[in-house]
Amino acid sequence: MLSGFARAAEPELLEPEKAFRFAARLKDARSIEVIYQIAPGYYLYRDKFRFTLGPAGVKPGEPHFPAGKKHRDEFFGEVETYRNSLSVLLPFDLGDTGVPAIQLAAESQGCADIGVCYVPYEHKAELRLASLSSGATRSDAASGVLSGMGLETDDARVARVFEGGFWLAIASFFGFGLLLSFTPCVLPMVPILSSVIVGTGRPVTKARGFLLAAVYVLGMAMTYAVAGVTAGLSGALLSVVLQNPWVLGAFAAVFVALALAMFGFYELQLPVALQSRLADASNQFHGGHTAGMFVMGVLSALILGPCVAAPLAGALLYIGQSRDVVLGGSALFAMALGMGVPLLAIGASAGALMPKAGPWMETVKRFFGTLLLGVAIYLVSPFIPVSVQMGLWAALLIVTAIYLRAIDSLPAGAHGFQRFSKGIGIVALIAGLAYLVGALSGGRDILQPLSGLRVTALGTAPYEAPFQRINSSSELDDRIQAAPGRTVMLDFYADWCVSCKEMERYTFSDERVQARFREMTLLQADVTANNAEHTALLRRFRLFGPPGIVFFDREGREIQGLRVIGFQPADRFVAVLDQALNFRR
C-alpha cells in the first residue's frame, strides 16, 4: 500500500536550482545584470523578486524588468510572469562607501505548470568592483535562505570553491583533479600511456618514463587550460555544449570504438605517413618522441572531456560567468595536473611496474576495453531509460564474466590468478544476471536492479485494453467528435515508459477497471517515435512525455485536474474513472 503511494502520481520535478538557474555579473560601474535561465514548464513571478545589496551603505536602485507575460489570476489579480530566460538590470549606488565588492542577494519565487510552487529562493553573488576593468565578477550559485539546507549540485560545489583566493582555487582544483583520477574516466588512459612508453622498443629508464609521462600530462593539462581560457572568453556556452546528448552520444561512440580496439578487433594506429614522420623526427633529434607524447596528451584530454563533464561543467560555468581568463586557465591546468598524478607514478615506475610488452598486456587491454564500454554506457545514461541501461550493464557484465571463464571449471592445479579471475567473473555474472532480471522486470533503480520484482511477485498476463491509436492532435479531435456523449480517456504511452507498462499490466487488467473502460472511448497516443506531431500533442496537454492519462467529458472538453501521471493501483484508478464518468460541468 505504502509503496503504492510512494510510487503514485508524483511528476518529475526539477530541484529549484535547476528549474531556475541564476547568474549575476557587473554590467558597468553602476549596474548589475541578474540572469535567470528558466526550464520549460516553469515560470517566475515578477512581483516576487527582492534584491538586496551589501555591505551597508550600498543602495540598490529600481530594478529594470523586461515586459513579462501578463494574465489575470483568480486570486492575485493581474500578474506578470517570466519564462525561458530573464535578464534584470539592477542599478546601484555605492555612495561614499568605497567598498571593493558588492554582495547581491536575489530572492525569487516561481511555480511549475503542473500546479506546484517553489518556496522563495535566495541566490547570492559577490561582484568585485576592483576588477571591473577586466569584467570579472564572482558569483555563487549555491543555495540561499529558504532552501539553504537543500542538496548542492556538483556545479554549485565547484563554483563555491572560487569563494576563497586565487591560490586556494588552484589548490582545490588540483585536489579535485586527484579525486577525478580515481574515477573510471582516467583509468582508460593508463594502458594507452603504458603501451606508448613500453612499446618504444628502447629500454626505458625510470627517469625517461617519468619524463614521457610528464610530457603527456602536460599536453593534457594545456588542453584543459585552453578550454578554461575559451570558457572565460566565450561565457557559459562551452558547458552547455558539453552536456548536449548528441555530443555525449558521439563521445560514447568514440569510447566504444576505443574499446573494440582494446579487444583486438582492429589495430588502433596513427596513419603510416604520420608514424614515419614521427619516427624520422625522433631519429633526428631527441625530442621527437616527446612531441608525440605531447600530442597524445592533448588528444586524450579531448577524449576524456565529456567523461568528467559534471565537474568540468561547473568549473567552466563559473569561469564563463566570471570571464576571468587567468584564473580559469590556471584552475583547469591545475585540475589536469591532479588528474595526471597516477599517470606520472606509472611513468616513473616504467622499470618496476611495467614489464616488457607481452601476453599480459592483452589481459590488461581487455580489462580496460571493458572499462571503456562501461564509461560509454555511463556517458549516455542520462538520456536513455533505466531499463535499457540495465540491459546494457547486464550484457557487459555477463559477456565479461564469460571471458573470465566464470562458468568454465578450474583445472586441478589452478594457480592463484586463475582462481582470482574466476571469482571476479562469478561476481560479474551474478551482477549481470541481476541487471538482466531488473531490465526485464521493469526495475527502475539502477542501484537496486531487482526492486521491480517486489511488485511483480503476482505476475498476471498482460491485458490488451481496446485502445484506438492516435498520432496527432487533429486525429485526437476527430476521434473525440466521433464519440459524442461518451467519456474519452487518452493515454500517453511509449515503449520505454515503465509505469505505462505497469499500468497496463496491473491496473488496466483489473476487472473493475475493465468494466468502466467499456463505458468510455479509449484512445492511446504512442509517442515512442517522438516526432513533431507527438511533441505538439504533448505540448497541447503541457506534458513532457508519458506517463500521462487525460480525460474528456461527454462534451469533449478536457476534465481539468483529473490527470493521472505515473503508476496508480487499480483501487485508486477506479475512483478516478468513476469521477471521469460522473463528471458534469
Partner 1 sequence: MKTRTVVLFAVVAGLSAAAGVTYYMGSPGGGAAMAPDSVVERVLSARVADVKGGTQSLEQWRGQVLVVNYWATWCAPCREEIPGFVRLQERYGSRGLQFVGIAIDQPDKVAEFASEFRINYPLLLGGLETIELLRQAGNRAGVLPYTLVIDRKGNLVGRELGGLKEAKLERIIQPLL
Residue 14 binds to partner 1 (criterion: CB under 8 A): yes
| Backbone phi, psi, residue 186, to 5° | -85, -25
Under the criterion CB under 8 A, does residue 239 sit at the interface with partner 1?
no
Q: How far is the CB of 445 from partner 1 (least distance, A)?
A: 9
Single residue of 298, 371, 379, 488 touching partner 1 by CB under 8 A: 371
Contact call for residues 507 and 568 (beta carbons, < 8 A):
yes
Decide: is 423 part of the binding site for partner 1 (CB under 8 A). Answer: no
Closest CB 154 distance from partner 1, rounded Å: 6
Q: Site for partner 1 (CB under 8 A): which residue of 360, 423, 459, 555?
A: 360
> Of 152-160, 228-236, 254-262, 549-557, which part binds partner 1 (CB under 8 A)?
152-160
| CA distance linking residue 324 with residue 144, whole number of Å | 24
Residue 306 DSSP code: G
Residues 6+ away with beta carbon under 8 Å from 221: 297, 301, 333, 336, 337, 340
Write out the binding residues for partner 1, residues 72-111 only, by CB under 8 A: 73-76, 109, 111
**Nearest-approach distance from CB 153 to partner 1, in angstroms:** 7
* 363 in contact with partner 1 (CB under 8 A): yes
The DSSP bridge partners found for residue 490 are 523, 550
Q: Is the peptide bond before 484 cis (omega within 30 degrees of 0)?
A: no
What are the distances in angstroms from CA 557 to CA 21, 496, 549, 552, 584? 36, 29, 14, 5, 11
Q: How far is the CB of 424 from partner 1 (least distance, A)?
A: 8
DSSP track, 35-48: EEEE-TTEEEEGGG
Query: Is residue 420 near partner 1 by the rule CB under 8 A?
Result: yes
Strand segments (E) across 240-361: none
Q: Contacting partner 1 (CB under 8 A), which of 171, 196, 310, 357?
A: 310
Interface stretch with partner 1, choices 127-135, 180-188, 239-247, 497-505 (CB under 8 A): 180-188
The least CB distance from residue 320 to partner 1, in Å, is 21
Binder of partner 1 out of 35, 132, 171, 187 (CB under 8 A):
187
| Candidates 96-104, 139-147, 243-251, 278-286; binding stretch for partner 1 (CB under 8 A) | 139-147
179 lies in the site for partner 1, by CB under 8 A: yes
CA 473 – CA 167 distance, rounded (Å): 58
Count of residues touching partner 1 (by CB under 8 A)? 67
In the bound state with partner 1, the residue whose beta carbon lies nearer, of 265 and 420, is 420
Which residue's CB is nearer to partner 1, number 102 or number 158? 158
Question: In this chain, which of 98, 416, 484, 485 binds partner 1, going by CB under 8 A?
Answer: 416
Q: Where are the alpha helices (DSSP H) in 470-552?
A: 473-481, 498-502, 511-517, 532-540
- Interface positions, 22-41, toward partner 1 (CB under 8 A): none
Alpha helices in 349-463 (DSSP H): 359-380, 386-403, 416-440, 451-456
d(CA 11, CA 114): 8
Binding status of residue 411 toward partner 1 by CB under 8 A: no
Cβ–Cβ < 8 Å for 523, 489? yes
Give kind and range of the element (H or E) at residue 488: strand 487-493
Would you say 268 or 353 has its CB closer to partner 1? 353
Of 70 and 469, the one with the shorter C-beta distance to partner 1 is 70
In the complex, what is the shortest distance from the CB of residue 243 to partner 1, in angstroms, rounded to a whole number?
15
- Letters for 112-131 (x = contact with partner 1 by CB under 8 A, - = none) are x-xxxxxxx-----------
Q: How far is the CB of 184 from partner 1 (least distance, A)?
A: 5
CA-CA-CA-CA torsion sign (548, 42, 114, 382): positive
C-alpha cell at 21: 538557474
> Is residue 337 a contact partner of residue 170, using CB atoms and an 8 Å limit?
no
Residue in 443, 470, 472 with CA at minimum distance from that of residue 456: 443
Distance, CA of 203 to CA of 336 (rounded, Å): 28
Grid coordinates in use for 429? 555474472
Is 568 a binding residue for partner 1 by CB under 8 A? The answer is: no
Q: Which is nearer to partner 1, 186 or 337 (CB)?
A: 186
Closest to partner 1 by CB, 117 vs 515, is 117
Candidate ranges 56-64, 158-166, 184-192, 286-294; the one touching partner 1 (CB under 8 A)? 184-192
Q: Using CA atoms, how far apart are residues 326 and 329, in angstroms rounded to an integer?
A: 5
Residue 260: what are its φ and ψ, rounded to 5°?
Answer: -60, -40
Pick from 387, 400, 397, 396: nearest CA to 437: 387
Q: Give dist(CA 428, CA 366) in Å, integer.
A: 15
Q: Which of 71, 286, 415, 518 binds partner 1 (CB under 8 A)?
A: 415
CB 310 → partner 1: shortest distance, Å?
A: 8
DSSP string, 18-71: HHEEEEEEEEETTEEEEEEEE-TTEEEEGGG-EEEEESTT-EE---BPPP-EEE
Residue 9 lies near partner 1 (rule: CB under 8 A): yes
**The binder of partner 1 chosen from 6, 56, 457, 532 (CB under 8 A):** 6
Cα four-point dihedral sign 171, 244, 501, 117: positive
**Can residue 358 be called a binding residue for partner 1 (CB under 8 A)?**
yes
> C-beta of 22: minimal distance to partner 1 in Å?
16
Residues numbered 426-485 forming contacts with partner 1, rule: CB under 8 A = 447
Nearer to partner 1, 294 or 435 (CB): 435
Count of residues in the chain: 585
Is 1 an interacting residue with respect to partner 1 (CB under 8 A)?
A: yes
182 binds partner 1 (CB under 8 A): yes
Q: What is the rounded distance in angstroms from the CA atom of residue 298 to the CA atom of residue 398?
A: 34
* CA 511/CA 37 separation, integer angstroms: 47
CB of 2 to partner 1, least distance (A): 5
What does the alpha-carbon distance between residue 519 and residue 483 come to, in Å, rounded to a whole number?
11
Interface with partner 1 includes 185 (CB under 8 A)? Answer: yes
One residue of 152, 475, 495, 533 binding partner 1 per CB under 8 A: 152
5 binds partner 1 (CB under 8 A): yes
Binding site for partner 1 (CB under 8 A): 1-2, 5-6, 8-11, 13-16, 19, 48, 73-76, 109, 111-112, 114-120, 145-154, 179, 181-185, 187, 190, 310, 342, 353, 355, 358, 360, 363-364, 367, 371, 415-417, 420, 424, 447, 561-562, 575-576, 579
